[in-house]
Amino acid sequence: MSEPPRPPGEYGSPSDPNYVPPPTSGGGAYPPPPTSGAGYQQPGYQQPGYQQPGYQQPGNAYGYQQPGAYGAPGAPGAPVGYANSDEKTWALIAHFGGIIVGFIAPLVALLAKGNESPTVKAHANEALNFQITWGVAMIIAVILSVCSFGILVFLPFLVWIFIVVFAVIAGMKANNGELYRYPATVRLIK
């Protein structure tokens, strides 16, 4: 069975991107590809300089890196906002460690990794300034509590709650790769 002839122009023009050439005689098949001569290309052969559509060479101008490469965006070991997971760990130690040991945790983070990583240094400086400021506030609150014969016994507890709340907020921001600026902090260390 063959298809009835179509009116002229029904197949479109060759300049049309959706152009489908009309079938040739012999059952409606397209003409066979050349097996030799000018249009022949060996199967599996790519012309020099040919690049598959949608493929980018690693390290090209678009910043493409192989998926999963160390330090590549979206790599499993590289958290957002950090060059590696070690930086993230030290930033979290600086913020969350202050809840337990005060200014010592951010000081250790600053001394251990502050010279190697500007990110860790920024987190440790913020946490250290906060812990020093509120450590002094805690000492003053304890002195006032003792000197008032227990009337202001709740004052050190309020200061400790303030320290815990803002250290947790800063730690959560650091976990997301953001630097948190603590409120009500005297910035002694820059």
Which residue would you say has higher pLDDT here, 170 or 78?
170
Of all residues in the chain, what percent carry a pLDDT higher than 90?
39
Would you state the structure tokens that stand for residue 129, as one six-digit string? Answer: 């300034």
Query: What digits encode the pLDDT tens for the residues 103-116?
Result: 999 999 999 988 89
Arithmetic mean of pLDDT over the chain: 76
Query: What digits encode the pLDDT tens for the residues 41-98?
Result: 666 555 555 555 555 555 444 444 444 444 444 444 444 577 888 899 999 999 999 9
What amino acid is encoded at 89 in this protein?
A: T
Whole-number pLDDT of residue 150: 82
Please say if the pLDDT value at position 16 is more than 70: no
What span, in angstroms and rounded, lies between the C-alpha atoms of 17 and 62?
29
pTM above 0.85, yes or no: no
What is the mean pLDDT of the segment spanning 117-128? 92
What is the DSSP secondary-structure string of 98-144? Answer: HHHHTTHHHHHHHHHHTTT-HHHHHHHHHHHHHHHHHHHHHHHHHHH
Whole-number pLDDT of residue 129: 94
What span, in angstroms and rounded, lies between the C-alpha atoms of 8 and 12?
9
Whole-number pLDDT of residue 26: 53
Would the CA dihedral through 178, 112, 166, 140 be positive or negative? negative
Whole-number pLDDT of residue 164: 95
Please say if the pLDDT value at position 11 is more than 70: no
Q: Are 79 and 177 in contact (CB under 8 A)?
A: yes
